Amino acid sequence: MTYYRFFLLIIFLSISVKINAQQEVKTGNPILKEWYADPEIVIFDNTYWIFPTFSGIVKKQDFMDAFSSKDLVNWKKHENIVTPKNVAWINNELWAPSAIEKDGKYFVFFSANDIQTPDSHWWDPQKHDSTEVGGIGVAVSRKPQGPYTDHIGKPLIGKVLNKAQPIDQFVFKAKDGIYYIVYGGWGRCNIGKLNDDFTDLVPFEDGQLVKEITPENYVEGPLMFYREEKYYMMWSEGSWGKDSYKVAYGVADRPFGPFDRIATILESDPNIATGAGHNSVLHMPDTDDWYIVYHRRPIPNEHRNHRVVCIDKMEFNDDGTIKPIKMTFEGVGAVPLISNGKK
């Protein structure tokens, strides 16, 4: 009997060690080992997907890769899902993807060509003119990993409206069933309604294509999500190339706001990294578990474009406000997805 009990104890301890080892598996930060930024994270087909910007010099930033994972820890790279070969009007600076599935198709919205106007800080008459083609485009595929093709053959939003540069788009489906696009650089943010096949914007009742919803201190990188009957808007402040880059947020009853600024929730930490911003969020199905996926600048920083993609836990207070987010080197624990889309 003693030997039998000892044998059972050994088995129990062995199982416990294995369970604890599984629980201790962490993503680590960064979760993608190369230089990437502006990450969009989604769940497609019971798989995590990250669509980021390649963080290189402008002349080499004309393609997009994607990454897939079943557990947030192990990531597979899918190269060149969007390039000038399949979107002919792209000629430089391809960045800030937003991905969404609709009717069995996968759409990647992207910014390209960095168009300028005479009243912008970066306008250079030797480099720019008012006929430039660029702005926010749409690519489509039957598979999340692509390859993607140009959906409409031209930019979806190719003009500066309400003084907002057409960049940094985020697309989401609101509780009213309408698909909205939120976007904007140069310190201005617009929202528009997408038509059913994502080929154009649907004008509002007053005839406007977009409405301005710029919150206090907004610079770029907007996103929205819905939680407990409220719309949360997050955005980046400061300068993307400096330590001042950070994330703030506001809350409203509808996607048009107003989004009064509540607080900064993610910012530089001299013990971890600097320049944390341009984030997305991951909501685990059927739970109230949330994660923030963002880019930051490692210390020491090797280059203006030395940005890496990281993940950390995002938690809420009882009143619905978001707790300040602590950047970590450990990241978060593995969260496997199984066939029914649940943990």
Convert the pLDDT of each residue in 210-248 to its tens digit: 999 999 999 999 999 999 999 999 999 999 999 999 999
Convert the pLDDT of each residue in 184-218 to its tens digit: 999 999 999 999 999 999 999 999 999 999 999 99
Tell me if residue 38 is catalytic.
Answer: yes
Ramachandran angles phi, psi of 333, nearest 5°: -75, 155
CA dihedral 42, 105, 232, 113 (to 10 degrees): 90
CA 340 remoteness from chain centre:
24
Q: Which of 125, 126, 97, 129 is nearest to 115 (CA)?
A: 129
Contacts 24+ apart (CB under 8 A), 112-116: 112/87, 112/137, 112/155, 113/89, 114/167, 115/158, 115/160, 115/165, 115/166, 116/165
Convert the pLDDT of each residue in 273-303 to its tens digit: 999 999 999 999 999 999 999 999 999 999 9
pLDDT value, residue 280: 98
Predicted confidence (pLDDT) at residue 132 exceeds the cutoff of 80:
yes
pLDDT value, residue 36: 98
Convert the pLDDT of each residue in 249-278 to its tens digit: 999 999 999 999 999 999 999 999 999 999
Predicted confidence (pLDDT) at residue 6 exceeds the cutoff of 70:
no
- Model confidence band, residue 140 (pLDDT cutoffs 50, 70, 90): very high
Convert the pLDDT of each residue in 22-62 to its tens digit: 457 999 999 999 999 999 999 999 999 999 999 987 777 89
Predicted confidence (pLDDT) at residue 5 exceeds the cutoff of 80:
no
CA separation for the pair 76, 25 (Å, rounded): 18
pLDDT value, residue 126: 84
Q: What is the pTM of this model?
A: 0.92
pLDDT value, residue 60: 79
Contacts of 173 (CB under 8 A, 6+ apart): 100, 179, 180
Residue 140: both structure tokens together: 């489509």
Predicted confidence (pLDDT) at residue 21 exceeds the cutoff of 50:
no
How does DSSP assign 291-318, residue by residue?
A: EEEEEEEESS--STT--EEEEEEE-B-T
Ramachandran angles phi, psi of 260, nearest 5°: -70, 130
- Model confidence band, residue 19 (pLDDT cutoffs 50, 70, 90): very low
Active-site position among 40, 93, 114, 220: 220
Q: Are 132 and 115 in contact (CB under 8 A)?
A: yes
Q: Is beta strand 273-283 parallel, antiparallel or unpaired with respect to 290-298?
A: antiparallel
Predicted confidence (pLDDT) at residue 7 exceeds the cutoff of 50:
no
Predicted confidence (pLDDT) at residue 338 exceeds the cutoff of 90:
no
pLDDT value, residue 339: 62
Tell me if residue 132 is catalytic.
Answer: no
Q: Which of 170, 188, 189 is nearest to 180 (CA)?
A: 170
Active-site position among 38, 40, 168, 237: 38
CA separation for the pair 99, 109 (Å, rounded): 6
User: How many residues does this entry show for the chain?
Assistant: 343
pLDDT value, residue 2: 57
Predicted confidence (pLDDT) at residue 1 exceeds the cutoff of 70:
no
Q: Are 277 and 245 in contact (CB under 8 A)?
A: yes
